[in-house]
Amino acid sequence: MARVYNFSAGPSMLPEEVLKKAAAEMLDYEGSGQSVMEMSHRSKVYDSIIKGAEQLLRELMNIPDNYKVLFLQGGASTQFAAIPLNFMNKNGKADFVITGQWAKKAYQEAQKYGECKAVASSADKTFSYIPKLDKNEFTKDADYFYICMNNTIYGTVYHELPDTGDVPLIADISSCFLSEPIDVSKFAMVYGGAQKNVAPAGLTICIIREDMLGNARDITPTMLNYQIMADNDSLYNTPPCYTIYICKLVLEWLKEMGGLEAIKERNVKKAKILYDFLDNSKMFKGTVVAEDRSLMNVPFVTDSEELNAKFIKEATEAGFVNLKGHRSVGGMRASIYNAMPVEGVEKLVEFMAEFEKANS
């Protein structure tokens, strides 16, 4: 069996230990005589899986007791509508920072439900930086202030959160979920699709401060109403059972590794290997300003389209897959989420150095 180094932005690689455990438990989960795929979501055995996953997530992220944890479906993209339906309900206004495609999509979707203001944007330089924010631009009576914390496509991340005062801060953390500790209490809500760093596709985790709930618009579809999902402990209807189970295994793996401080240390080490190489290469260069670089997604280019294509082709043949950049940036992107071992990044950098030598 030959496993590749998978640099996909999502769905992305999972820890090998998790895949092995899932394989071992496939036919008979803990003596139940069934796969987790087959069991009732109302069964006692499944209840311990979903409750266990929530407990582990609370512990790892240090989630305060006055926050609900919801295991939902529909991806991060569904929350682009659910967030305004649930929260843009007092003054009908919200502020957005446009740092890339995902922030822009959230902004455009929310415009269907109220008055949305883009308080800053980095579109002028292909989203290669996090824009400086001018508080005078903020809407004083906005119902919330929205950011995309880690910009998967462009490889930028907020190192400092916007100071929104009393206005609730909401962040899409899809591509930096569990990559390092965050202070949940600074947010009214954080959420993300699980397929980047937490689980396979099909699960969306929303962490919401309780006082935000209960004000959804009357037209809000039942399935998008966070209060209803919270009242039913994410079991209003059938949840993505198997994905939640894998999520629990990933959380156990993280805990075993020493939690988010430990994984952050490993992620910093991995990113440094790649950024140091890019900063010293004459052929490859990173596309993001140094101070806003993501630990998770690293876009880079050469100065020729032909060379980019040749690199991607040869890298794929050598077992480094999914390195093609998003079409809006071009070039390459290495997504180095939690599950990517240090060795994967070291080997990639070795391969890049050899390629540079052979082609210059």
Ligand X SMILES: *Cc1c(COP(=O)(O)O)cnc(C)c1O
Nearest to 83 by CA among 143, 141, 130, 125: 143
Which of 5, 6, 7, 10 forms a contact with ligand X (CB under 6 A)? 10
CB of 10 or CB of 239, closer to ligand X: 10
- The minimum distance between CB 102 and ligand X, in angstroms, equals 4
Q: Does 248 bind ligand X (CB under 6 A)?
A: no
Contact 319, 4 (CB under 8 A): yes
Which of 131, 168, 193, 240 forms a contact with ligand X (CB under 6 A)? 193
276 in active site: no
70: helix, strand or coil: strand
Q: Does 196 bind ligand X (CB under 6 A)?
A: yes
Q: Does 333 bind ligand X (CB under 6 A)?
A: no
Q: Does 11 bind ligand X (CB under 6 A)?
A: no
Question: What is the total count of residues that contact ligand X (CB under 6 A)?
Answer: 12
Contact 12, 196 (CB under 8 A): yes
183 in active site: no
- The minimum distance between CB 221 and ligand X, in angstroms, equals 17
Contact 287, 331 (CB under 8 A): yes
Distance between start and end Cα atoms, the chain: 35
Identify residues 83-102 at the interface with ligand X (CB under 6 A). 102
Q: Active site residue: 68, 93, 95, 102, which one?
A: 102
Cβ contacts of 279 within 8 Å, gap of 6 or more: 286
The torsion region of residue 352 among left (phi > 0), alpha (psi -120 to 50) and beta comes to alpha
Element containing residue 104 per DSSP (H, E): helix 101-110
Distance CA 83, CA 306 (A): 43
Q: Active site residue: 68, 93, 95, 196, which one?
A: 196
* Stretch near ligand X under the rule CB under 6 A, chosen from 47-55, 65-73, 170-178, 287-295: 170-178
Distance CA 227, CA 172 (A): 19
CB of 55 or CB of 77, closer to ligand X: 77
Residues engaged in binding ligand X (CB under 6 A) = 10, 75-77, 102, 148, 152, 172, 174-175, 193, 196
Give the residue numbers marked as catalytic: 102, 172, 196
